[in-house]
Copies of this chain bind each other. A is one copy, B any other.
């Protein structure tokens, strides 16, 4: 992709101002290759920031330099695509091995979109019966108990996790227009688009018991308040799985066992003991039910400092 061209505008104070073109910068810097696997995510992001500052410095009229805050969103997206590409390739490799071994199972990395409509919520991946079961669980303000409590609705709410790993048989994979052997060798605009396009191809094709491997959520860095975002996403995922398992005959065996290994958190800048302790939190969905065993919101928090560490972490997850 060509060097990004900034649109310089005046801000309210009359200063020249430009937006950091986050996706364009990524595909400009990594058009030909992925970041080296032994470079830390820290360094990869620092490099992208430096390249961005150069583009700002060469633009006329010169916009004011981007602040720390203006990189926050970019840092997150940059990390997600780099991380995602390496997981994608890990799975392509696994798929190739499976093919060699006449194992029909193929895995796919689905980068989840922003959840700003029902269509974009990850549950819209589910086949109609399961999706409908979740929608039927919800109650609106015509419900007696909801009204009596002075509420407007009763439902589960969460932001989408960053990604989900699904599994299909090779035939389904092809039918959905996906190539299970395709690797990602660079972050060109086309590859970014490809990663983003998987979600809509798989909408309505997924069942919890056949196709769901696990969710992954990634953070560049953790803070004591933001780490509970991991916990809530995991809690929500587990609650949804529990609901489906208890309301439909899914033949998944023990529900608590089935809920295990379904939600993983990654920190690309390490974490401390308190962060790790927090991830040992129970899902509240299991504590009040005498029939439910132990279920955790987050199955593991990984410290993943470089792309090359992804392989070991994925080995733990995919076992």
Contact = CB atoms under 8 A, between A and B. Distances in A.
Nearest to A153: B280
Determine chain A's interface SS by DSSP, over half rule.
mixed
A312 interface: no
Interface in A140-195: 145-146, 149-159
- What is the oligomeric copy number? 2
Contacts of A242: 287-288
A124 to B, nearest CB: 17
Interface residues of A, number: 53
Contacts of A150: 300
A231 B236 CA distance: 11
A165 to B, nearest CB: 19
Interface in A264-316: 276-278, 280-290, 292-294, 296, 300
A149 B260 contact: yes
Contact of A157 (B151, B280, B294, B300): B280
Interface in A187-215: none
Interface of A: 67-69, 137, 139, 145-146, 149-159, 224-226, 228-229, 231-233, 235-236, 238-239, 242-243, 246, 260, 276-278, 280-290, 292-294, 296, 300
Given A159-B225, A225-B229, 6 more contacts: A137-B287, A146-B294, A149-B296, A228-B229, A235-B284, A236-B284
